[in-house]
Amino acid sequence: MTRTCLVYHPIYLQHETNGHPEKKERLTAILDKIQSERLDVDFVTPKFATVSSVAAIHSLRYIDQVKAICEHGGGYLDVDTVLSKSSYDAALMAAGGAMAAVEAVLGEYGSAFALVRPPGHHAMPNRGMGFCIFNNIAIAAKHAQSLGAKKVLIVDWDVHHGNGTNDAFYSDSSVLYFSTHQYPHYPGTGRADEVGEDGGEGFTVNVPLPSGTGDAGYLMAYREILRPIAMEYKPDIVLVSAGQDPHKDDPLGGMRLTTDGFGAIAFQVKEIANACCRGRLAASLEGGYNLQAQAEAVVSEIRAFGGESAQIRGTDTDAARRIEEVKKIQSRYWSCFA
């Protein structure tokens, strides 16, 4: 299980958004970069997610609402989230792509990256928001569990907090959600003291990083918070909400990650998967709105999943303070911080 596969379907380009930042050129730029770099990867074609699979996260009423809007030519789920006539099918295939990535790493592949759109991590059970229709990574987590993975780790490095994924598993100890995100920033959630509730308390780990955090601060969060918690949790599979909008050149974020920085944190996550679950790592595309920067970051991540590491040096005192705050909060739940 050493090869990496990419999951893709051309229907993703039929989610028309008419000049919106979340546009089809995001995917074509990635595909062009992968081709020009001649990456040694396989392509896997996904299938549509079934309504019952999507309903593991979303209400049937909401699913029907999305379908009806698309059948009538399109519209808006909120001020940011546009639907075209083909968006329902594209969203089902995006969820199906994340599910196919899970199947790939539970099978013959060591890593998988679902190059999907629309993205998903903001989508709530009863509504879409933040460019997201169905929550692809949450649906994939449920699918992984249906295939025998008892404990799932979701890592989200998008610049925006994945409020939909956070809420989907907030009281569920069988899914550990870890997020690094710019804070304060859209959607306004993801404080360090948002740790889960009831039986899931302690299984949500939010790391709200200050604007301007770069490679050193991010790597510190992954080494000092994610790695020890993950080694204690021992997941059966690792899923990644891979958003490239923390890149220093992204127009919708205020972070300072470089292409090498994305590779470094991706390598950390792959090392966790290697140590805990035979390398099983499935990523799904989220945000990223500078076409060149996003494409370069994705290629860096794919290479990291294959074992290439980047050297990051330096310190970040502002990020370090936030990280220590998170450790203090999480020490109530994880012996690695006791």
pLDDT of 284 strictly over 50: yes
* Average pLDDT value for residue range 122-133: 99
**Residue range 8-58, pLDDT digits in tens:** 999 999 999 999 999 999 999 999 999 999 999 999 999 999 999 999 999
Q: What is the model's pLDDT at position 316? A: 96
pTM, 2 dp: 0.98
DSSP 247-260: BTT-TT---BB-HH
Q: What is the model's pLDDT at position 222? A: 99
Mapping DSSP to helix (H, G, I), strand (E, B) and coil, where does residue 279 land?
coil
Q: What is the model's pLDDT at position 310? A: 84
Q: What is the model's pLDDT at position 177? A: 99
* Average pLDDT value for residue range 198-215: 99
Strands 81-84 and 111-114: unpaired
* Average pLDDT value for residue range 195-216: 99
Mapping DSSP to helix (H, G, I), strand (E, B) and coil, where does residue 63 land?
helix
Mapping DSSP to helix (H, G, I), strand (E, B) and coil, where does residue 207 land?
strand
* Average pLDDT value for residue range 220-236: 99
Sequence-ordered list of residues with C-beta below 8 angstroms from that of 140, at least 6 positions apart, any chain: 95, 98, 99, 101, 102, 239, 282, 284
The better pLDDT of the pair 2, 220 is held by 220
pLDDT of 124 strictly over 50: yes
CA 266, 267, 268, 273 dihedral sign is positive
Mapping DSSP to helix (H, G, I), strand (E, B) and coil, where does residue 205 land?
strand
Pick the catalytic residue from 58, 122, 143, 161.
122
**The token pair that represents 310 in the structure block:** 């980047």
Q: What is the model's pLDDT at position 311? A: 87
Mapping DSSP to helix (H, G, I), strand (E, B) and coil, where does residue 287 land?
coil
The yes-or-no answer on residue 181 being catalytic is no
User: Which CATH number does the domain 4-337 belong to among 3.40.640.10, 1.10.510.10, 3.30.56.10, 3.40.800.20?
Assistant: 3.40.800.20
Q: What is the model's pLDDT at position 173? A: 99
Query: Is residue 218 within 8 Å of residue 226, measured between CB atoms?
Result: no
Positions of E strands within 104-203? 111-114, 152-156, 175-182
Residue type (1 letter), 87: S
**Residue range 145-163, pLDDT digits in tens:** 999 999 999 999 999 999 9
Q: What is the model's pLDDT at position 2? A: 72
Task: Report the run of H or E that residue 82 belongs to, with start and end.
Answer: strand 81-84
Cα–Cα distance between 223 and 272 in angstroms, integer?
Answer: 10
pLDDT of 1 strictly over 60: no
> How far is the CA of 216 from the CAs of 300, 315, 319, in angstroms?
17, 5, 9
Query: Is residue 132 within 8 Å of residue 37, measured between CB atoms?
Result: no
**Residue range 66-122, pLDDT digits in tens:** 999 999 999 999 999 999 999 999 999 999 999 999 999 999 999 999 999 999 999
Q: What is the model's pLDDT at position 92? A: 99
Provide the phi-psi class of 326: left if phi over 0, else alpha when psi is between -120 and 50, else beta.
Answer: alpha
Is the bond preceding 187 in cis, omega lying within 30 degrees of 0? yes
Domain spans of the chain? 4-337
